[in-house]
């Protein structure tokens, strides 16, 4: 059947490159059905409700403080080894429009555990609403998409395997969700050590939460325990912060480095 050839756009090249380096990661998923009733009630009581993305981001960042495995990465330079970072860097997937088509672009928040939910929400909103080329990470990625493929692949390989630079450019964990669309991804891919996602959240607080992890870095039992602890953090520390949101003084925005 005769069709037509379509040139790969910059967004499609970016996704293709990401998949090129994700497909070789021995990734396994662990799921826990959580009951987030206390957190749901705390959020419902607020006049202005924080996004679930910001809430889960804060909770996972707090979890990573307690579990250093979530701040580790498998790197190949100068030889295969695990590298542990002193703090987390969140990589958050956003769907934006670029040159007339949907584009999946990643923004980073360094040390998300240090920021309030309100600050995290503001940073996420900025990445979703500012012009695409005004977001430093988006601009850098789209510039990279214009580079010839062999050069892109070499630079990405180096970025993922030079330990001290990896977290700066790619993050230590990724957050990618479609729950706002009433759907959930069962097998997302990422070159990072962990990817957190969750499904639609019921009125009673029931939700499926998954951590997709690099088996070279940790084992399934560790992840199962992490999910159990994550549920307690969400219903405890994070729910308490949500309760206090209405009393918070306006916090300064998260500082971003321009490129």
Domain residue ranges in the chain: 10-245
The three-state secondary structure class of 133 is: helix
184-199: b (≥16 Cβ within 10 Å) or e: bbeebbbbbbbbbbbb
What's the pLDDT band for 80 if we cut at 50, 70, 90?
A: very high
- C-alpha–C-alpha distance, residues 216 and 247, integer Å: 44
DSSP tag of 235? I
Tell me: pLDDT of 229 over 60: yes
Q: Regarding the domain with residue range 10-245, which homologous superfamily does it belong to in the CATH classification?
A: Chloramphenicol acetyltransferase-like domain (3.30.559.10)
What's the pLDDT band for 246 if we cut at 50, 70, 90?
A: low
- C-alpha–C-alpha distance, residues 184 and 165, integer Å: 31
- C-alpha–C-alpha distance, residues 181 and 213, integer Å: 24
Q: What is the pLDDT of residue 245?
A: 84
DSSP result, 185-210: -SS---SSSEEEEE-PPPTTSEEEEE
pLDDT tens by residue, 33-74: 999 999 999 999 998 999 999 999 999 999 999 999 999 999
Share of the chain above pLDDT 90, in %: 87
For residues 42 and 244, is the Cβ–Cβ distance under 8 A? no
Mean pLDDT value across the chain: 92
Q: What is the pLDDT of residue 253?
A: 56
Share of the chain above pLDDT 70, in %: 94
Tell me: pLDDT of 143 over 70: yes
Nearest to 172 by CA among 199, 191, 152, 197: 191
Partnered with residue 198 across adjacent β-strands are 209
Partnered with residue 19 across adjacent β-strands are none
Distance of CA 252 to the CA centre of its chain: 22
Nearest to 138 by CA among 105, 108, 170: 105
Enumerate residues 6+ apart whose C-beta is below 8 A from 255. none
Question: pLDDT: is 73 or 180 the higher one?
Answer: 73
């Amino acid at each position: 059947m005769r069709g037509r050839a379509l040139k790969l756009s910059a967004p499609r090249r970016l996704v293709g490159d990401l998949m090129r380096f994700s497909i070789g990661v021995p990734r396994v998923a662990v799921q826990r059905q959580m009951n987030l009733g206390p957190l749901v009630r705390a959020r419902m009581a607020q006049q202005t409700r924080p996004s679930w993305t910001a809430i889960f981001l804060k909770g996972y960042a707090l979890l990573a403080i307690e579990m250093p495995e979530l701040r580790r990465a498998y790197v190949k330079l100068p030889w295969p080894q695990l590298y542990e970072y002193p703090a987390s860097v969140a990589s958050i997937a956003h769907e934006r429009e670029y040159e007339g088509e949907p584009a999946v672009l990643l923004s980073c928040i360094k040390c998300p555990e240090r920021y309030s939910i309100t600050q995290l929400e503001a940073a996420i909103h900025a990445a979703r609403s500012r012009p695409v080329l005004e977001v430093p990470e988006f601009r850098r990625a789209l510039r990279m998409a214009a580079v010839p493929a062999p050069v892109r692949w070499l630079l990405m390989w180096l970025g993922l395997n030079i330990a001290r630079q990896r977290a700066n450019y790619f993050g230590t964990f990724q957050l990618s969700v479609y729950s706002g669309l009433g759907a959930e991804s069962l097998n997302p891919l990422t070159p990072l050590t962990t990817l957190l996602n969750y499904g639609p959240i019921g009125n009673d607080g029931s939700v499926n939460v998954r951590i997709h992890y690099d088996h070279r870095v940790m084992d399934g039992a560790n992840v199962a325990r992490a999910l159990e602890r994550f549920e307690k953090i969400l219903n405890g520390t994070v729910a308490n912060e949500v309760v206090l949101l209405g009393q918070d003084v306006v916090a300064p925005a998260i500082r971003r480095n321009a490129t």
